[in-house]
Structure 1
Amino acid sequence: MSQSKRIAILMLGGARRVSLAEHLIADGRRMGYEVEIFSYELNAEVPIASVGKIVIGRRWKDADVVDHLVQTIREHRIDIVLPFVDGAISIASECKRQLPEVFIPVSPEEIAVAMYDKALAAEMFAQAGIAIPTTYNTEQCSFPAIAKPRFGSASKGITVLENESQLLELSCPEDYLIQEYIRHREEYTVDCYVSQAGEPLYIVPRLRIDVVGGEVAQTRTCRIEQLIESSRDIIKAIPFRGPITIQFIRDLDNDRYLLMEINPRLGGGVVCSMHAGAPLSEYLFKESKGIGVEECKDWKDNLFITRYFKEVVFHGK
């Protein structure tokens, strides 16, 4: 196989991203590339093994994780690195600094660190003039409120506070972001891809219809201009790069959209946007080879997907 036609992709924590990997492989084939999938995991028996090779790696907090990743990238001649879990984003940013010849489409490390800390992120959003839910502290708090672990993900540990006594029951309030609770709401994800020059290439809002364990199970694309323009303003205000996932909430009582959080990585539901026409694979492959890309605005509105579980079988030796 010609080296120019081979594209090796290393997923960081891509254990369950089988559908996305299949899209990358199929899209690569249509573009004349042979895509190889690798995934950096703690366990070999994960679903992504059905379509790629598993590299047993380190934990994200291990002191030698960057050195081991750099070694892995060189050993397997990796062309593209994609983080899929929050803890891997700043690690990928450091690898990007050390390996400029490898395409690692992630935001600067200081942005990754800020987005990982919900309280720090909320402060950054407010300073940038982005509308977010009212943020409280233990001295000044209106109810109902919602307490989110500063470093949590997948909706784990979130608590709705109905009164002051529940607020006082929080063991370490400083470990939470406390904001107004919007009881009557809709939640939206906006899948975006930001070029290495800082230009938004696609912006696709999706209604989150059903979520299981923090993972979207049903979602529908929605061409809502207010969300598209708000996302564009966010990208102008904060120097994101590569794929990012913006989470908005719609306050139905007051008809307003508020920013909840931004994950500077691919989300699991991005496959919906890909089915709708967002050319993620094309952007990754072309940017990795220094080929120019154009903005995509003609994705399909009102495209619905529903997801299901499928088993991967490992036969013991």
Structure 2
Amino acid sequence: MGSKANILVTCGGKWVGTVLQLRQAMQEVPLLQNGRLYVADRAAITPAGHFADGSFVVPPIGHPDYIDSLLEVCRRAEVRVLLPLIDIDQVRLARHGKRFSEAGTTLVSPPAEPVELLFDKDCFHRFAVAADLPVPKRIALEELETADYPLFYKPIRGYGGIGAGRCNSLAEARRACSCRDDLMFQEFVGAPEVSIDCYISPAGVPTVRVPRIRDKVVDGEVMQSHTVRLPDVNALAIRTLEALAGRGVSGPVTVQVFAAEEPMLIEANPRLGSGNVLSNVATGGRLLRSVLAGACGLPVIGDPDDYRDGLYLYRYLGDVIHDGSAPFQVFPRMAA
């Protein structure tokens, strides 16, 4: 990839904190120290674009020209690392990793097959059961009449909590099924949800594992969170990462677990979680530094237990005011 040193974050329009921390991480990866960080989004004006070194407008993820447009951006902007942040973007991009590689750009994603395994909730449930990883009991549609309520339902190919919910009775379960035909049901688990921000090295070794309680979630994205040490949860996370590494997964992974008396696996996503900024700080910047170093083909080592617990994330709204297309004022103001 020669002297390429630039990064492109896709669908990154609102992730200001992640963009700022990625810029810091670039300075700690020798091959990226002189690089620029760009944001690609379907919107011409985005908050994160203001804090990046530049931005590009691309078609929506589902558009037929989306991949070709990104490839053109990567060639023109000499992008070395392409970093997707959301599930449906990664599912689309993973099928074209070879094309990006041929253009001199490393896509931060496992191959298409394990990405699909983790995105499809039915496939993931069967994978977890086969790997002897504890998961909530699944309730088949024909078992709804005799099931113990409440139950939890979610779309088999859903993301961000869209279309998921609790049903307290058979009538509510039938109502949910009448709205969409791609639901799966499982026992309702009334335990705190823990997101675990992780990294699996290119050698298949878990080197980062930071559990954090999801204190407040809005539309599937964490707004308040804090890091913790939960030995049983940590152990389940490592078992999950090792099983995923055996299926070809490496790079950033977000594992979600119910912190019940006996922890249970909810799901795993092969990307950075929405609260990655907290875990990155808890590891002294090691999470994002690992992501970038691994994408550059550099060795990545680390102790999963090397993180700081008791750190709290509180998200708030900031404002970027534009005069036409040019930024006019920013609140809060960036430090000089």
TM-score, reference length from structure 1: 0.91
Shift of the 124–47 alpha-carbon distance from structure 1 to 2, 3 Å rule, reads same
Who is 1:304 aligned against?
A: 312
Q: Deviations over 1:65-94 (max 9, x none)?
A: 222222221111101111111111123323
Counterpart selection for 2:133 from 119, 125, 130: 130
Shift of 1:31: 5.3
Residue 167 (1) aligns with residue 177 (2): no
Match of 1:45 in 2: 45
State whether residues 10 and 38 of structure 1, in contact with CA within 8 Å, keep that contact through their aligned partners in structure 2: yes
Using the TM superposition, name which of 238-247 and 277-286 deviates more: 277-286
Rate the CA distance shift 1:75–1:229 in 2: closer, same or farther, 3 A: same
Secondary structure at 2:63's aligned position in 1?
coil
Q: In the TM superposition, what is the alpha-carbon distance from 1:173 to its structure 2 partner?
A: 6.0
Conservation of the 8 A alpha-carbon contact between 2:251 and 2:294: no
Task: Render the CA deviation track for 1:145-182: whole Å, top value 9, x for unaligned.
Answer: 01112232222222311111222222166411211112
2:159 pairs with 1:153: yes
Q: Distance in 1 between matches of 2:29 and 2:293?
A: 10
One-letter code of the match for 1:49? G
1:270-309 aligned within 5 A: 270-277=276-283, 279-296=286-303, 297-309=305-317
Structure 1 partner of 2:115: 112
Task: Supply the distance in 1 between the matched residues of 2:82 and 2:108 (Cα, whole angstroms).
Answer: 7
* Paired amino acid for 2:110: S
How many residues align? The count is 311
Find the residue that maps to 1:313 and give its secondary structure. Answer: strand
Does structure 2 conserve the Cα–Cα contact (< 8 Å) formed by 1:70 and 1:95? no
Name the counterpart of 1:77.
Answer: 78
CA distance in 2, matches of 1:31, 1:73: 20
> Any residues of structure 2 matched to 1:259-274 within 5 Å, and which?
259-274=265-280
Distance in 2 (alpha carbons) for counterparts of 1:64 and 1:95 = 13
SS at match of 2:70: helix
Match of 1:196 in 2: 202
Alpha-carbon distance in 2 for matches of 1:305, 1:165 = 39
Q: Counterpart of 1:103 in structure 2: which amino acid?
A: T
Summarize the Cα distance change of 1:138–1:286 in structure 2 as closer, same or farther, 3 Å threshold: closer
| Residue 285 of structure 1, CA deviation | 3.4
CA-CA distance at 1:30 after TM superposition: 5.1
Partner of 1:18: 16
Query: In the alignment, is the contact (CA less than 8 A) between 2:198 and 2:287 conserved in 1?
Result: no
Distance 2:82 2:209 in 1: 22
Displacement of 1:119 in angstroms is 2.2
In 2, Cα distance between the equivalents of 1:71 and 1:316?
26
Q: 1:205: how far off?
A: 0.7
Paired residue secondary structure (1:146): strand
| Moved beyond 6 Å, runs of 4+ | 3-6
Mapped to 1, the partners of 2:152 and 2:195 lie a distance apart of 19
Alignment correspondent of 1:9? 7
Aligned equivalents of 2:274, 2:243: Cα separation in 1: 25
- Residue of structure 1 equivalent to 2:329: none
For 1:127, the aligned partner's letter is A
1:277-297 deviation line (CA, Å, top 9, x unaligned): 150232233323332221133
Q: 1:30 and 1:219 mapped to 2: Cα distance?
A: 26
RMSD: 2.1
Q: Deviations for 1:99-142, whole angstroms, at most 9, x for unmatched residues? A: 33422221121121222222222222222221111111221133
SS of 2:192's partner is strand
1:47/1:59 CA distance change after superposition, 3 Å: same
Give the share of equivalent positions with the same residue, in percent. 25
Residue in structure 2 matched with residue 27 of structure 1 by the alignment: 25
The Cα of 1:19 is off from its aligned counterpart by: 0.7
Query: 1:316 maps to which residue?
Result: 324
Contact conserved, 2:84 with 2:108, CA < 8 A, in 1? Answer: no
Q: Which runs of 5+ in 2 are unaligned?
A: 326-336
- The equivalent of 1:66 in structure 2 is 67
1:94 to 1:315, Cα distance in 2 relative to 1, 3 A: same
Q: What is the rounded CA distance, in whole Å, between the counterparts of 1:62 and 1:27 in structure 2?
A: 32
Distance change >3 Å, CA 173–CA 136, structure 1 → 2:
farther
Query: Does the 8 Å contact 2:213/2:228 carry over to 1?
Result: yes
Unaligned runs of 5+ in 1: none
